[in-house]
Amino acid sequence: MGKKRFLAVLSFLLIFLFAAGCTQRPSDHLDPAPVHEAETGTGISKKTAPDDSGGENGPASENATGTEQNKGNQEIQEKGKAGGGPSNILSTMKVHYIDVGQGDSTLIQFSDGDEDYTILIDAGTWQRTDVVEYLQSQKVTTIDLAIATHPDADHIGQMDKVINQFNVGEIWLSGNTSASRTFQRLLEAIDNNNTDYYEPRMGEEFEIGPLQIDVLYPKTITGKNNTESISLKLTYGDVVFIFTGDADRDAELTMLKSGFNLNGDILHIGHHGSNTSTHPSFLQAVTPSIAIYSAAEGNSYGHPHAEVVNLVQSSGIKLYGTDVHGTIIVSTDGKTYTVTTKKSGKVTAGTRSGTAKKPESAAPSPSPSTSPAQAPPSKKEQESKPAPANNNCINLNSASAGELQRIIHIGPARAKQLIELRPFSSVDDLQRINGIGPSRLKDIKSQGLACVGG
């Protein structure tokens, strides 16, 4: 009897506990949805948030604000106040605004523990080798991320050499293309070295070690190379850097309207100090302590333009330029930053040489000609001006990756996918490629380059 009574009591307890467990809500055990990370390249983490996050573009941060302390002709100390509570102890990050003449190139170096990181934004002009030489002088062997803000020859000029001579983990391009030989060499270098390729878009966030990268622009591309330059916000501790390539005022205003927190400490002035960039509202939103532009001394474009110089200096912003100061290095521990220049000097507005207004581009363009009796263009002209479109169509089933990218909306990634999807029975089949829909197909047909052969 005692044994039966014991089993009856035990059975009752088990039934009670099971019933109690069934009435508990499953959601009581669920944690809030986390932010996910997806690897996009060596050492580069892409941050993606749940769809119901409200479209946040990253937290608004209190940035270091500087008070100048003169330390001589070639060095200015900016002592910043760290905001938002104590920051993690960071190693010194150096941002080198390299003097590359009438071009653009910035080297970024930092570390996290035993891990060293190197980023290169743009690579100067094709006529020179100074970017490669500068990287070698800084003992660079590996570049985690190379960024070509747009395909103009004064920004991607030596990028092919960089990829061929250094170990480049990943390269970012805007997705816009060019028929210039400089751009074709870059694509060949990417293919030959199997370099990872990515096209960043507005609102994306990435982390490389302790550095956060927010993509400010572009959201989409339409073939406007300068306007649609890759624009970035780099946050290191409490110190923020803004880069906009050659993005124009309209692009800057689009960034403003997108709701980004653009407040920063060091602004890389757009388009070499041209008046096509640096809208007063954009400058006010960034409110930098320091502005830096890259231009050649005595350049034919009159960079930096008087409107930009006056706007920046009247706003109480310290202005540096590679034409005046040579290579400029900003060093920061995430709380304070120091600006060191190769030369001392004072920035003044540039003077445009000659009487005719020069186009805002990488190099003078030759006048078009179809006369066989006329002398052929110089090598410089051939490099700086995109090659004219070939009257013969581009065969989707046999053209190389470089040739395919002469077709509108076909960048390196789509050219690679196109080759993998061969054969094509008609141009309409291009809609099999990611990102090619009816609207872009219409553009491709209107261009008249794409065709299908055997």
CATH superfamily of 388-451: Photosystem II 12 kDa extrinsic protein (1.10.150.320)
Tokens of 263: 């407040």
Q: Does 87 have pLDDT greater than 60?
A: no
Cβ–Cβ < 8 Å for 276, 360: yes
Instruction: Note the pLDDT of residue 36.
Output: 32
Q: Does 382 have pLDDT greater than 70?
A: no
Residue type, 99: D
CATH superfamily of 66-82+89-341: Ribonuclease Z/Hydroxyacylglutathione hydrolase-like (3.60.15.10)
**Spatial distance between the Cα atoms of 394 and 390, rounded to a whole number of angstroms:** 9
DSSP 95-121: EEE---SSS--EEEEEEETTEEEEEEE
Mean pLDDT over each residue of the chain, to the nearest integer? 79
Burial of 225 (0-12, 13-18, 19+ CB in 10 A): buried
Instruction: Note the pLDDT of residue 428.
Output: 86
Which of 16-25, 60-69, 103-112 is least confident?
Answer: 60-69
Question: Alpha carbon of 64 to those of 163, 213, 270, 303: distances in Å?
Answer: 35, 17, 22, 29
Does residue 103 or residue 358 have the better pLDDT?
Answer: 103
- Predicted confidence (pLDDT) per residue in 383-415, tens digit: 443 333 344 788 888 888 888 888 988 888 888
Q: Does 24 have pLDDT greater than 50?
A: no
How many CB atoms lie under 10 A from the CB of residue 114? Answer: 5
Which of 62-76, 91-105, 170-184, 326-340 is least confident?
Answer: 62-76
Q: Does 149 have pLDDT greater than 90?
A: yes
**Spatial distance between the Cα atoms of 248 and 171, rounded to a whole number of angstroms:** 23
Instruction: Note the pLDDT of residue 139.
Output: 96
Instruction: Note the pLDDT of residue 429.
Output: 86
Q: Does 86 have pLDDT greater than 70?
A: no
Side-chain-side CA neighbours of residue 440 (13 Å): 19
Give 15's pLDDT tier (boundaries 50, 70, 90).
low
Nearest one of 336, 338, 334 to 89, comparing CA atoms: 334
Instruction: Note the pLDDT of residue 34.
Output: 32
The whole-number average pLDDT for the span 265-276 is: 96
Q: For the chain, what percent of residues have pLDDT higher than 70?
A: 72
Longest CA–CA span in the chain (Å) reads 120
Q: Does 375 have pLDDT greater than 70?
A: no
- Predicted confidence (pLDDT) per residue in 427-446, tens digit: 888 988 887 887 788 888 88
Instruction: Note the pLDDT of residue 206.
Output: 97
- Predicted confidence (pLDDT) per residue in 320-341, tens digit: 999 999 999 999 999 999 999 9
Give 12's pLDDT tier (boundaries 50, 70, 90).
low
Instruction: Note the pLDDT of residue 47.
Output: 67
Instruction: Note the pLDDT of residue 318.
Output: 96
Instruction: Note the pLDDT of residue 54.
Output: 35
The whole-number average pLDDT for the span 57-79 is: 40
Q: Does 350 have pLDDT greater than 90?
A: no
The whole-number average pLDDT for the span 17-42 is: 39
Q: Which residues, at least 6 apart from 390, have a Cβ–Cβ distance to it below 8 Å?
A: 406, 449
Q: What are the start and end residues of each CATH 3.60.15.10 domain in the chain?
A: 66-82+89-341
- Predicted confidence (pLDDT) per residue in 44-56, tens digit: 777 654 333 333 3
The whole-number average pLDDT for the span 260-268 is: 96
Instruction: Note the pLDDT of residue 352.
Output: 53
Nearest one of 104, 76, 16, 53 to 319, comparing CA atoms: 76
Q: What are the start and end residues of each CATH 1.10.150.320 domain in the chain?
A: 388-451
Question: Alpha carbon of 220 to those of 45, 213, 262: distances in Å?
Answer: 22, 18, 20
Q: Tell which phi-psi region holds residue 270, choosing left (phi > 0), alpha (psi between -120 and 50) or beta.
A: beta
Q: What is the pTM for the complete model shown?
A: 0.66
**Spatial distance between the Cα atoms of 326 and 347, rounded to a whole number of angstroms:** 12
Instruction: Note the pLDDT of residue 441.
Output: 86
Cβ–Cβ < 8 Å for 251, 282: no
Q: For the chain, what percent of residues have pLDDT higher than 90?
A: 57
